[in-house]
C-alpha cells in the first residue's frame, strides 16, 4: 500500500512540474512572427540599412505599378524619420494583411514629416524560415511607397495682425474646452463658433500648381500636418471637437469640415480617440497640377 501511495505522489509531482514547465508558459500570439518581421523591416528602413530592408522584401514581390528593383530604390531614399504603428494583422494561411500608420520624413532639406494610413499591405511566410515573414505586395492606395519623391512644402502667408487676433480667441477657447469635464457640452453663445473657419485671408496668394489655389486658407494650414498633435477630443452640441497643438505649443479647436496642414487637409470626421483627414498631394509621374486624395489619421496622444 505504501508503495502505491509513493507511486501516486511521484506521478502527481511529475504532472505538476510538467504543467509548470509547459502549461504555464504564455501562448505566443499567431501574429507575433508577422509583427516581429514588420518591426525589423521598419527599423532597417529607419536606419538606412538597405541590405536588411531588401532582405525583408520577398523574391516573389509583385506590384502592378513598379518592379521589385524600383521598390528597392524607394527604400533607399534617405529618411530623417520612419516610424510605424500596427493597427491590425489578419493572417490568411501563409499570407498576412497588415494595417498600419506610417510617419515619414524624407530627404535632408526642408521636407516635413507626413503621415500615411496603410490598409492591407500583404506579407507572406518565408518558406525557408517559418517564423519569418516578408513583404510581398504594397497596399493598393499606398502612393508614397511607390515613388522616390519628397513632399513639397507649401508656404502660406497669414497677415500678422489677423493671426495674433485669431490666436488669442482660439487659445481662450482651447483652455475652456480642455477644462470641461467629460460629458459636458460646449456652450458657444457669445463666443466664436469653432465650426467656422479659423481665418478668412481672402483669395489665396499662393503660387500656381498647388492644391485648391482659389480657396482662402485657414490658420492651421500654415503648419505641416505631421508637426501638429491631437491632444484632446470633447463632445460638443454639433459632434466631437478636436483640440490641436501646433508646433509652437499653442492650442486650437477644430471640427469636421475645417482644413489643416499644408496639403489642403480636409477634416473628414472626428471620433473619440482619433480624427480622419483627407489631404491632396501631387500625383507621382503626372503633371505638377494633378493631385490625388490621400487619407491621413491623427491619433489622440498626451
Residues 170-181, mean pLDDT to the nearest whole number: 47
The CATH number assigned to the domain with range 32-146 reads 3.10.450.50
- 220 has pLDDT over 90: yes
Tell me the backbone φ, ψ of residue 231, rounded to 5 degrees: -105, -15
160-299 CATH, one of 2.30.30.830, 3.30.450.20, 3.30.70.20, 3.80.30.20: 2.30.30.830
pLDDT score for 43: 93
Which residues sit opposite 91 in a β-bridge?
96
Could you give the residue range(s) of every CATH 2.30.30.830 domain in the chain?
A: 160-299
Contacts of the segment 47-56: beta carbons below 8 A, 24+ positions apart: 48/78, 48/79, 50/75, 50/76, 56/134, 56/135
Could you give the residue range(s) of every CATH 3.10.450.50 domain in the chain?
A: 32-146
Give the total residue count for the chain.
302
Q: Are the C-beta atoms of residues 280 and 292 closer than 8 Å to each other?
A: yes
Residue bearing the bigger pLDDT, 13 or 279: 279
Q: Are the C-beta atoms of residues 132 and 111 closer than 8 Å to each other?
A: no
CB atoms within 10 A of CB 80: 13
Which grid coordinates are listed for 81? 524619420
pLDDT score for 160: 47
Q: Are the C-beta atoms of residues 213 and 181 closer than 8 Å to each other?
A: no
Residues 159-185, mean pLDDT to the nearest whole number: 45
Determine which of 26-30, 127-131, 191-195 has the lowest per-residue pLDDT on average.
191-195
Q: What distance separates the 2 farthest-apart alpha carbons in the chain?
A: 100
pLDDT score for 188: 42
pLDDT digits (tens, 9 = 90+) for 23-71: 444 444 678 889 999 999 999 999 989 999 999 999 999 988 889 999 9
Residue bearing the bigger pLDDT, 8 or 295: 295
**3 state SS for 218-267:** CHHHHCCHHHCEEEEEEEECCEEEEEEECCCCCEEEECCCCEECCCCEEE
Angle at 123 between CA 105 and CA 125, to 5 degrees: 135
Amino acid at each position: 500500500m505504501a508503495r502505491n501511495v509513493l507511486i501516486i505522489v511521484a506521478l502527481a509531482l511529475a504532472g505538476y512540474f510538467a504543467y509548470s514547465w509547459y502549461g504555464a508558459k504564455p501562448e505566443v500570439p499567431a501574429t507575433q512572427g508577422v509583427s516581429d518581421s514588420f518591426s525589423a523591416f521598419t527599423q532597417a528602413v529607419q536606419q538606412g540599412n538597405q541590405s536588411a530592408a531588401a532582405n525583408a522584401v520577398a523574391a516573389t514581390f509583385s506590384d502592378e505599378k513598379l518592379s521589385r528593383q524600383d521598390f528597392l530604390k524607394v527604400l533607399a531614399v534617405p529618411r530623417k524619420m520612419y516610424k510605424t504603428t500596427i493597427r491590425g494583422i489578419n493572417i490568411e494561411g501563409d499570407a498576412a494583411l497588415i494595417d498600419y500608420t506610417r510617419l515619414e520624413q524624407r530627404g535632408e532639406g526642408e521636407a516635413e514629416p507626413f503621415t500615411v494610413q496603410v490598409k492591407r499591405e500583404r506579407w507572406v511566410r518565408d518558406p525557408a524560415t517559418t517564423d519569418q515573414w516578408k513583404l510581398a505586395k504594397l497596399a493598393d492606395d499606398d502612393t508614397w511607397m511607390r515613388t522616390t519623391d519628397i513632399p513639397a512644402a507649401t508656404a502660406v502667408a497669414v497677415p500678422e495682425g489677423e493671426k495674433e487676433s485669431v490666436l488669442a480667441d482660439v487659445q481662450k477657447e482651447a483652455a475652456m474646452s480642455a477644462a470641461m469635464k467629460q460629458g459636458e457640452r460646449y456652450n458657444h453663445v457669445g463666443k466664436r463658433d469653432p465650426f467656422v473657419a479659423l481665418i478668412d485671408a481672402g483669395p489665396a496668394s499662393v503660387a500656381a500648381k498647388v492644391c485648391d489655389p482659389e480657396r482662402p486658407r485657414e490658420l492651421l494650414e500654415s503648419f505641416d500636418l505631421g508637426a501638429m498633435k491631437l491632444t484632446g477630443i470633447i463632445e460638443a452640441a454639433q459632434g466631437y471637437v478636436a483640440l490641436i497643438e501646433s508646433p509652437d505649443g499653442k492650442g486650437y479647436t477644430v471640427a469636421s469640415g475645417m482644413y489643416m496642414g499644408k496639403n489642403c487637409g480636409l477634416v473628414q470626421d472626428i471620433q473619440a480617440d482619433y480624427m480622419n483627414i483627407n489631404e491632396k498631394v501631387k500625383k507621382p509621374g503626372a503633371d505638377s497640377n494633378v493631385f490625388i486624395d490621400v487619407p491621413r489619421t491623427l491619433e489622440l496622444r498626451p
